[in-house]
Structure 1
């Protein structure tokens, strides 16, 4: 780089020039390098912008795909939940429709057993009763597992005296064990525990039934052990036992041990699956201890409760014999003619004077609802034209100076219905009605000794 500077004399005239020469090679190189770097930077920015735009587009596509997938999953979940509820409603409806003829059949069998007949005929009738009981058990088990899978069962945890629950189970299964030639021992407890009494009753029935099924000979024990963490209810048998590799598998659905596969076993292999599901729901785990050839112990531990709440209903227990029914006047309303006929035969065999009708209008044609004397009213909950037997009973009692004792018979196992019936002071029996249970319930109802809870409701989840 050159710069020319004029050289002047004293008069200011230019007498020459100074030439300044400066080397700017490095500066030019630096400038060129910066310009080149700037151009490269712009190119890289353009390339990165294009790349980021492409990546952003891909991310948007992935987000849209994930949102679509989540939407599909939500729809699939909704459909699955709807299918489960639909299955539950279907099974509940089917069970109700099946329970109607089954209920009539059980009542007819009960009426036949009351009659005098030869030992051979009595044995045949008893076999029919056993078969009907098997149908009832299988049907109830299917409905139970369906409701548990659908998540429509909600436990109601409350304190209660464990003895009130176990005493009734002991009486029942002592007879079951005796019919199979087994000894039955029961160790009672006075402890107060906290759990859902109905769900716990279902667990204990399944464990006791399993013990009977897998014990060809020997004895069973139902008892309690006080432990630091809670009260453990134990069911012990001296049966075939469970191999170690089978102990986790027995809680799977439709899983049965080969030792039980004989003519007496009509189960579906769902009993212990129901036990497992309920115990997990209650957060009260079941433990298993077994030795092949020597027997098995199942135990479920319940937290202790300090005291019963005021007005707390006690767990269901079986009632003993009450006053006889001979001469009692009963009104029966059921929309099923077969059940009306079966109830008439059974109740008349017990010496009752019975008026049966298929509706309130039919009953009113035969008796004066407000004035005629009668001892009790038996109504079916579901009547024709979506009418309610509970409403019918309330309407009849509203006409009378003294309300009638009322027994409601239903296939509905809901808590809401049980609570409503209890609040009205009525009694409740679930279908299919066992003749012995019907008789003892009527005896207590007519003796003005109301049941503290419905033992039938404690037998399962079908509510």
Structure 2
């Protein structure tokens, strides 16, 4: 083989020398390629190493940035939670403040309303009666504004949480008809309401407030004609409707009147009173209940407000009672009554008012006074009028229960309160008491007492 020939033999044979050179060249090329591949691999490995280092650096930077962002987010969540807690405490404080102030303002307003009723009854001169009427109108305006502000503040604070249950419309219609009838009679309006046995699924207090505001709105802005309160079955729903022959509402104003402090221009031209809060409260309560509110109106002819609520089958005890008769003071003659209130000014005003109606009135501030009254075996009250919040932890239903238990019989009772909470309404239902909210209109009180005594 040529590969094994000694050098002197290769020199003598040129062809063998050429083959050896070619072979060596190929070996060299193969070695060079192997070296190059090795260097490329090393270069790639170094490049990968550098890339890994760079990626690690980027990952460390991104991790630090993410940790910083998470720290800031956690701090922001803490600040947001603190701000939310502060806002909730502020809302609770605001609600408690308005409730307390409202109760403190409604209490003297209640006494003033009762005293003014007595003043109006004894006036003989036309000018003096006009002045007394103007004062009464001012008190009504203050009452409506204060009540509306309390409702708005509770709605904003989320205090009004619907307690949806079957509600009998007949009882609500009867009570609201009794409340609105003195105003419509004074304005010579033809007020009609249809007794109904229909029931709906709603919150009883909120639904009553909705219909009350719609009736009050109709009575304020209707100067002549009629007002109708009715309920109709509409498939799975019940339509609660309030019709009036008032000034009507223009199409371009039908959204605006449901905003706070807004009234239609036709209502303003008619001289209607109010601050534009009634319909705003209606809209908010209807929305929170999931009901529907509809408005149909023609300027110069009148309006119809309709609330659509889910139908609920009425139970036996939801049947409506007969219509409320007009009260006459003579029917209260010589009837013994107990009035319980921890406010001396209210007691004095109630005694004067009820005595003029012919009632035999006994006054009590607490349970001790009640015990003293009942110690007279000849006195047996025909009706009890009790303030709900008395001194200490005593409430009006405690006084009612004490009298009923002592005398061993059921005695009709009316709870009078500025507290419009569900707990107060539930207590009135549990103890089978009627409920009136301060400030009480004397005509409303008289009509309710006449109905209960009849």
TM-score range, shorter chain: 0.7 to 0.9
Counterparts in 2 of 1:194-343, with a 5 A limit? Answer: 194-215=201-222, 217=224, 219-261=226-268, 264-305=271-312, 307-309=313-315, 311=317, 318=324, 321=327, 324-343=331-350
Q: Aligned partners of 1:235, 1:396: CA distance in 2, in Å?
A: 40
Separation in 2 of the partners of 1:431 and 1:304? Answer: 31
Which of 86, 92, 96 is equivalent to 2:93?
86
How far apart, CA to CA, are the structure 2 residues paired with 1:174 and 1:427? 18
Instruction: Give the superposition deviation at 1:311.
Output: 4.9
CA distance in 1, matches of 2:138, 2:64: 68
Q: Mean alpha-carbon deviation: is it higher for 216-225 or for 426-435?
A: 216-225
Aligned position for 1:102? 109
Paired residues of 2:416 and 2:437 also in contact (CA < 8 A): yes
The answer to whether the 8 Å contact 2:246/2:301 transfers is yes
Match of 2:442 among 396, 417, 435: 435
Listed as ranges, the matches of 1:58-97 within 5 Å are: 58-97=65-104
- 8 Å contact from structure 2 (residues 197, 314) kept in 1: no
TM-fit CA distance, 1:49: 0.9
Q: Which residue of 1 aligns with 2:13?
A: none
Matched, 1:369 2:410: no
Other structure's SS at 1:261 match: helix
Structure 1 unaligned residues grouped into runs of 5+: 8-17, 448-463
- Which residue of the other structure, out of 24, 45, 54, is the alignment partner of 2:52? 45
Q: For structure 1, which segment, 28-37 or 325-334, has the greater mean C-alpha deviation from structure 2 after superposition?
A: 325-334
Q: Does 1:422 align with 2:448?
A: no
Structure 1 pair 199/6, CA: closer, same or farther in 2 (3 Å)? farther
Residue 136 in structure 1 maps to residue 143 in structure 2: yes
- Are the counterparts in 1 of residues 197 and 319 from structure 2 also a CA contact under 8 Å? no
Q: Which moved more, 1:406-415 or 1:277-286?
A: 406-415
CA contact (8 A) 1:370 1:399 kept: no
Shift of 1:446: 4.5
Farther-moved stretch of structure 1 (377-386 vs 347-356): 377-386
- Distance 1:417-1:355 versus aligned 2 partners, 3 A rule: same
Shift of 1:274: 0.8
Q: For residue 40 of structure 1, report the CA deviation from its aligned partner.
A: 0.9
* Greater displacement, 294-303 / 65-74: 294-303
Matched residue of 2:331: which SS? Answer: coil
The worse-fitting range, judged by mean Cα deviation, of 417-426 and 335-344 is 417-426
After superposition, the Cα gap between the structure-2 partners of 1:119 and 1:135, relative to the gap in structure 1 and judged at 3 Å, is: same
Q: From the superposition, tell whether residues 228 and 152 of structure 1 become closer, same or farther in structure 2 (CA, over 3 Å).
A: same
2:10 alignment partner in structure 1:
none
* 2-structure distance, mates of 1:94, 1:219: 37
1:333 CA drift (Å): 2.9
- 1:345 and 2:352 matched: yes
Q: Give the number of aligned pairs.
A: 432
Please state whether the residue corresponding to 1:242 is helix, strand or coil.
coil
Normalising by structure 1, what TM-score? 0.81
Q: Give the CA deviation at 1:259.
A: 3.4
Unaligned runs of 5+ in 2: 7-19
**Superimposed CA distance per residue, residues 69-99 of structure 1 (whole angstroms, 9 cap, x where no aligned partner):** 2222222222222212211111111111111
Contact 2:341 2:347 in 1 (8 A): yes
RMSD: 3.4
Q: Distance in 2 between matches of 1:58 and 1:300?
A: 56
CA distance 1:315–1:161, change in 2 (3 Å): farther
Please report how far the alpha carbon of residue 442 of structure 1 lies from its aligned counterpart in structure 2 after TM superposition: 3.4
- Deviation per residue, 1:399-434 (Å, 9 max, x gap): 445565544322222222332333334444322222
Task: Point out the structure with the larger helix share.
Answer: 2
Counterparts in 2 of 1:16-35, with a 5 A limit?
21=24, 22-23=27-28, 24-35=31-42
- Residue in 2 that maps onto 1:451: none
Once residues 223 and 252 of structure 2 are traced to their aligned partners in structure 1, the CA distance between those partners, rounded to angstroms, is 22
Deviation string, structure 1 residues 359-385 (Cα, Å, up to 9, x no partner): 4445556x4537452314433222234
Closer, same or farther in 2 for the Cα pair 1:274/1:373, shift >3 Å?
same
Cα 1:6–1:274, aligned 2, differ >3 Å: closer, same or farther? farther
